[in-house]
């Protein structure tokens, strides 16, 4: 787990439970789904507390906040840089099985006045269930 820096960023019981719940599932949950899972263990926790702690866990580098186009904000318990693929039909998000393309940032370095701090790459497509449903609809018409 991350280093406990000060009172604001120490690993409180609430943060630890939120982090444990995010890391238990691999479906890139939204804050309300995390809240429902955490509430089973901490019945008195509020949605606002979950949101604030998600922000702190992101700042600590324990989790990632995913801001994918066309989708609600989701969270990923894997803090290591990686890409995602999103179903344009149902919104399902999975990890894309490719290594980060760090050479993109290297190629851009020195060719712009911007200080490059990272990049986002999102793949879109149809998840297996939506692809089957689409093919069935096409076959029926």
87 known ligand binder: yes
135 known ligand binder: no
CA distance 73 to 39: 20
Contact partners, residue 20, CB within 8 Å, separation at least 6: none
What does the block give as tokens for 69? Answer: 């186009």
Dihedral pair phi/psi, residue 10, rounded to 5°? -70, 160
89 known ligand binder: no
CA distance 11 to 2: 8
Residues 127 and 93 sit within 8 Å (Cβ to Cβ)? no
130 known ligand binder: yes
CB atoms closer than 10 angstroms to residue 45: 16
58 known ligand binder: no
Residues 2 and 61 sit within 8 Å (Cβ to Cβ)? yes
Binding site for Zn(2+), by residue number, is 87, 90, 127, 130
Binding site for Fe cation, by residue number, is 119
Binding site, by residue number, is 87, 90, 119, 127, 130
């Amino acid at each position: 787990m991350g280093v406990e820096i000060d009172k604001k960023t120490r690993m409180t019981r609430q943060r630890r439970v939120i982090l444990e719940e995010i890391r238990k599932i691999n479906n890139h949950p939204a804050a309300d789904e995390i809240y429902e899972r955490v509430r089973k263990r901490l019945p008195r926790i509020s949605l606002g507390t979950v949101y604030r702690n998600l922000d702190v866990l992101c700042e600590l580098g324990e989790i990632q906040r995913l801001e994918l186009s066309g989708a609600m904000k989701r969270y990923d318990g894997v803090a290591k840089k990686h890409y995602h693929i999103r179903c344009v039909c149902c919104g399902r998000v999975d990890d894309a099985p490719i290594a980060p393309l760090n050479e993109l940032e290297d190629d851009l370095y020195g060719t712009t006045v911007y200080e490059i701090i990272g990049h986002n790459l999102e793949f879109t497509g149809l998840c297996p269930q939506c692809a089957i449903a689409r093919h069935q609809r096409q076959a029926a018409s």
